[in-house]
Chain A
C-alpha cells in the first residue's frame, strides 16, 4: 500500500471501529432497556407545561453577521497553514514573510472595519 495513505487507512479503520462501538452499545441498550411509550412521555418537553405550537419555532438569528464574518475569516485562515510550514525552508525569504503580513493586515483591517461599524456589538 502507498505509504502516505496508509496512515489515513488507519484513521479509516478507527472510524469503522468507532461506528462498531456505537452500534454495539445501541444494540445492547435496545436489549436491556424497557419500552413503554405513552403520549405524555413522548410529547415535547417544555418545562413541564403543555407544549405550544410546533416544535421548530421561528427564531431571530441575530448572529448571521458573525456567520458571514466566520466564513470570510475561516477560509482565509486556512491559507496560513501551508505558508506556516514552508516559511522556515531555505529559499523562502523576507518576501514570503512580508506577503503574509499583508495578508494578516487585510484580516486585521477587516476586523477593525466591522468593529467600527458596530457589527460586533450584540444589541
Chain B
C-alpha cells in the first residue's frame, strides 16, 4: 500500500515536472519565433530582406546568435544608478509573462493549470510586468530613463481600465473566470457580440506592451531608449525578451478570450494547432501595426484611452443582457435581423 502511494506521488511529481518544463520551453521558444517573424515580415514590408546570414537558411538563427552575443557583453553599471534595483528590474519585467503562460490553455487537455480566477490572475500579472519598466527607469538615475519610466506608468494607468472592463464582459458571457472554461463556453456568435471588446482588449494590450504605435515610453528619437537607456548585455536582452514574451501572451490571451482558443475543426486532436495559428496570426497583426502606424503623442495616447476605449468598453459591458433560460446574451438593440446572440 505504501509503495503504491509512493508510485502515485512520483507520477504526480513527474506530471508537474513535465508541465513546468513545457511552460518554460514555450516561454523561451515562442517569443523567439515571434521575434524572427518580426525580423523577416517587417523587412519584407519595407522592401528589405532582413537577416540572411546566420544559420544559412534565411537567417533563421539570427536571434540565437544575438543571444550568444548578449550573454558575453559587459554589464555596465552606471555610477548614478541604484545598483540592486537596476540589476533586478529586467527579471521583474520578464517573469510575469512566464507565470501567465501556465494558465493559458493550449488545447482541450493541454494546459499548465486551471485556476478558477484565471482571468483575474492574468490581468494582475500583466500589470506587474510594467512595474519592471518603471523600476528600470527610476533606478537608472538617468533623466531620459526616468521620463520613459513615467510614461510607462501613465500608459499602464490609461489602458488598464478598458482592458479590465472588456475582460469583465467576456467573463460575464462565459459565466466563469477560468480560461479553459471561457474557451469551452465560446461560440462563433461571440465574434459579433464581443467584437468591440476584442478590439479594445487588443489595442489596450498593445499599449501596455509599449508596442508601436504606443511606443512613446521607449521613443528612440525623443528619449534614447526610455527606461532601457542605461542597460547593456544580458539585462537589455531580457527586456527585449520580455517585450516579445508580452506579444505572445497578449495574442494568446486575445485568442483565448475572443477567438475561441483551441476551438476549431477536429479540436480534440488539433486544438493546439488552432490555438497556435490564432496566436501567430495576431502576432503578425502586432508586427504589421509597427510597420504601418506612426507613434502617438502623449496627449493623443491618453485621449484614445479615456475618450475612445473606455466608453467603448462600457458599451461592450453594458450591452450584455440576461438570457431567457438563464445565461447571458448579447443585448444588441440594432436592426431587426440581428436577433442577438
Question: B277 an interface residue at 8 Å Cβ cutoff?
Answer: no
| CB pair B177 A22 closer than 8 Å | no
Question: B230 an interface residue at 8 Å Cβ cutoff?
Answer: yes
| CB pair B80 A25 closer than 8 Å | no
List residues of B (119-147) whose CB comes within 8 Å of A's CBs.
119-121, 138, 140-144, 146-147
Give a binary string over B108-127; 1 marks a CB under 8 Å from any A CB, 0 the rest.
00001111100111000000
| CB pair B302 A63 closer than 8 Å | yes
Question: How many interface residues does A have (CB within 8 Å)?
Answer: 70
Partner of B157 from the list A22, A34, A63, A101 (CB cut-off 8 Å) is A63
Question: B78 an interface residue at 8 Å Cβ cutoff?
Answer: yes
Interface SS majority for chain B: helix
Interface SS majority for chain A: helix
Give a binary string over A12-27; 1 marks a CB under 8 Å from any B CB, 0 the rest.
0111011101100110
In whole angstroms, what is the CA distance A84 to B20 when docked? Answer: 31
In whole angstroms, what is the CA distance A66 to B322 when docked? Answer: 33
A32 contacts across to B, CB distance below 8 A: 71-72
CB distance from A57 to the nearest CB of B (A): 4
Partner of A84 from the list B147, B161, B168 (CB cut-off 8 Å) is B168
| CB pair B168 A81 closer than 8 Å | yes
Question: B16 an interface residue at 8 Å Cβ cutoff?
Answer: yes
In whole angstroms, what is the CA distance A22 to B238 when docked? Answer: 9
A121 contacts across to B, CB distance below 8 A: 299, 303
In whole angstroms, what is the CA distance A12 to B165 when docked? Answer: 27
The contact sample of 11 A-B pairs, CB cut-off 8 A, is: A10-B20, A13-B16, A14-B23, A14-B112, A46-B143, A55-B143, A59-B146, A80-B165, A89-B326, A97-B322, A111-B310
Which B residues are within 8 Å of any A CB, using their own CB?
16, 19-20, 23-24, 71-81, 87, 91, 94-95, 98-99, 102-103, 112-116, 119-121, 138, 140-144, 146-147, 150, 154, 157-158, 160-161, 164-165, 168-169, 171-172, 175-177, 224, 229-230, 233-234, 238, 298-299, 302-303, 306-307, 310-311, 314, 317-318, 321-323, 326-328
With A33-B234, A47-B224, A66-B306 given, can you name 4 additional A-B contacts, CB distance below 8 Å? A41-B76, A44-B80, A55-B143, A104-B317
